[in-house]
């Protein structure tokens, strides 16, 4: 199998719900990330062989969101484009698909990533086409229905986060401390310029005058640390998950350029990293919170590594309790 290298990895700033990026669609944000990834990698749109972009709620975006983003970024119409929907893991799964295509020798240069505008997810009127003859109609929030609500138990995903905290004895104080530390690290990274190499500015058209370019993440600036301990539980009466130790609702996009080892040498590209292994895992949907503890050992095994070989684990999920549960179950520090 061919080796797979990451030669660029960029993202837009992360915009707050209804904030600085809210006037742009997911495909607009995706296009900005794709352009930035190609520029940082030093490859042209014509060299891209396939585009894979994750997107969870595609309602009202129009057909084929991945192709829209690719075309807006200047990628030719002859390049296959696919949109991947795997809820939280959509962008990561796109990268996995891209890596697999290179490993198998189907491609040498793939662009993969993800894009979402939670601010622009619409409300639905389910019975409007055939059902309403007279009277009021009911609106359904597409963000809640297709993004943040478990389809089987019909409850917010945060309810399962509360159950995780209770099962593994993870306190409200631990979750708050993790969230506060995360926000402070984000602020420090921004102020130190550590995020600059990965962020591409996004131009926001104005009614009058020149566009305004957004360069920095938005949400961390709004946090009031003294208010966090006093927040009420967000999902269940006696729960431990709050608006502060759960993730915010955001807009943004990211993109990576994946290249085969052969093409890295041929084009003289400078890799950032080599993809060694990856893994999927599933269990009962209500316990998505602990599924990373199944996926991580699988990925380690495929790489021929043990957890003791790893210096740093990064766990991306919507709640502090997920990372804390991962640490506890995996017995890592």
146-180: pLDDT as tens digits: 999 999 999 999 999 999 999 999 999 999 999 99
- Is this model's pTM higher than 0.75 or not? yes
Burial of residue 128, with CB atoms counted within 10 A of its CB: 0-12 exposed, 13-18 middle, 19 or more buried:
exposed
Give the separation between CA 182 and CA 223, rounded to whole angstroms. 11
45, 77, 105, 256 from 269: Cα distances, Å: 15, 25, 19, 14
pLDDT at 248: 92
Per-residue confidence band for 187, with pLDDT thresholds at 50, 70 and 90: very high
Please give the pLDDT value at position 242: 97
Summarised one tens digit per residue, pLDDT across range 311-320 is 999 998 789 9
């Amino acid at each position: 199998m061919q080796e797979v290298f990451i030669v660029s990895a960029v993202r837009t700033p992360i915009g707050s719900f209804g904030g600085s990026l809210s006037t742009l669609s997911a495909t607009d944000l995706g296009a900005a990330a794709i352009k930035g990834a190609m520029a940082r990698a030093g490859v042209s749109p014509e060299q891209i062989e396939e585009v894979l972009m994750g997107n969870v709620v595609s309602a009202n975006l129009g057909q084929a969101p991945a192709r829209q983003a690719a075309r807006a970024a200047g990628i030719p119409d002859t390049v296959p484009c696919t949109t991947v929907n795997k809820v939280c893991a959509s962008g990561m799964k796109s990268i996995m698909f891209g890596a697999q295509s290179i490993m198998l020798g189907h491609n040498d240069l793939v662009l993969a990533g993800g894009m979402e505008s939670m601010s622009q997810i619409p409300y639905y009127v389910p019975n409007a086409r055939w059902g309403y003859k007279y009277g009021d109609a009911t609106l359904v929030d597409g963000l809640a229905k297709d993004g943040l609500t478990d389809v089987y138990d019909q409850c917010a995903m945060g309810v399962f986060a509360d159950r995780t905290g209770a099962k593994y004895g993870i306190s409200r104080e631990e979750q708050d401390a993790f969230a506060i530390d995360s926000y402070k690290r984000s602020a420090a990274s921004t102020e130190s310029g550590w995020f600059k190499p990965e962020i591409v500015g996004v131009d926001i058209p104005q009614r009058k005058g020149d566009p305004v370019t957004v360069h920095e993440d938005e949400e961390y600036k709004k946090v009031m640390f003294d208010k966090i301990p006093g927040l009420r539980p967000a999902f269940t009466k006696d729960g431990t998950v709050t608006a502060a130790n759960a993730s915010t609702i955001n807009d943004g996009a990211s993109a990576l350029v994946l290249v085969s080892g052969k093409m890295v040498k041929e084009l003289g590209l400078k890799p950032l990293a080599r993809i060694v292994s990856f893994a999927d895992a599933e269990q009962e949907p209500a316990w998505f919170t602990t599924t990373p503890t199944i996926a991580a050992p699988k990925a380690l095994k495929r790489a021929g590594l043990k957890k003791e070989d790893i210096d740093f684990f990064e766990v991306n999920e919507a709640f502090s309790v997920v990372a804390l549960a991962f640490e506890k179950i995996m017995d890592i520090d």
